[in-house]
Structure 1
């Protein structure tokens, strides 16, 4: 797995002499303006403390430089220099490329050819396996209209109750959750999911058992949201299948 370098909001605050809460505010504003549903934990990751509050947000290089583009020249320079240090550290710690086999030796050449052939076969098998999954995600992403909880659960191959439990699981960081229950137990969408275009939430009016007009939030998942969930579930399932 590729080790993606990130910079924390706390380090950015130190380099730019800004209050950390202001950097967090700037990051949230930037992410809402970018509004890219394809961003995940390799791009940015929100870290929470024991009380559920944001402790810091880690950004990749592109998002870090996008953030400080609005800061003054000296602060941009300091952040860029720090990124250069991080990249140099990554290069220094990267594994050395193994030496090529001695192709003048028939035995070594045969072994190298066999290993290359096996690698190509494995890569082709992986492509064959992932192709229908990719096509399914593409169909979901290109479909029109948002779907409710039941239809979304069906689309990603889960029972509704299991799907809801997965979406609200408070053992996961908030950046990986989709919904939460309010004081009345009603499901609500997290704002970072609606701002990213993965979910919608609207008030729906209805008549209660007492005959009075009432209103409750109704959440739905956009096609991009369904595709994102399917992708996350696939990664989780593949991780479970990895040998210990």
Structure 2
């Protein structure tokens, strides 16, 4: 990547590739132009071959010098060189921040920066509840917990929390019970415990959040609360 204030140059290797000439021949002409005083600003600098690690010399040329060089090497490729320079200048312009030249441009830039700052602050505000929930509850997630236990832990309304889990495709109702979707079971966020009720010997299966699952869902729930607060204008 070009340094922000570095002069824009093209390498002799780039020119050799554009013209189909041998690089050593391009270097010979570069040195002749520099030593003859036609292009005294041509710089010679080492270049390391990434394949063999050997150092070789190449020349760096400003736009004017590269056009003089190409006229010596291969006049028919001048248009291709001009196209390449336009590509380099376009890339350089994208990397360099635009400096406002008028009051209107300065105000527009300030407005854009303020908008970016607001977006960053909104993103931080949205992430903050997740961090708070995780920090607050991670110490309490030493064991598996059922649906109601998690609602109590998060201080969440059971109906609202169940609708949230269904909408996010985390759980679904099966025979009146909240049941996790298979991908979340596979991810280790839930376990399903089975057994037999001692009173009537009926078999049962109960889904429980793992500590990993509680920490994960607490973050999602915190983000949801933050979005609701922002939408209501209280955030």
Q: Classify the TM-score, shorter chain.
A: 0.3 to 0.5
Instruction: Report the TM-score, using the length of structure 2 for normalisation.
Output: 0.44
The one of the two structures with greater contact order (alpha-carbon pairs below 8 A, sep at least 6) is 1
The structure with the largest alpha-carbon Rg is: 2
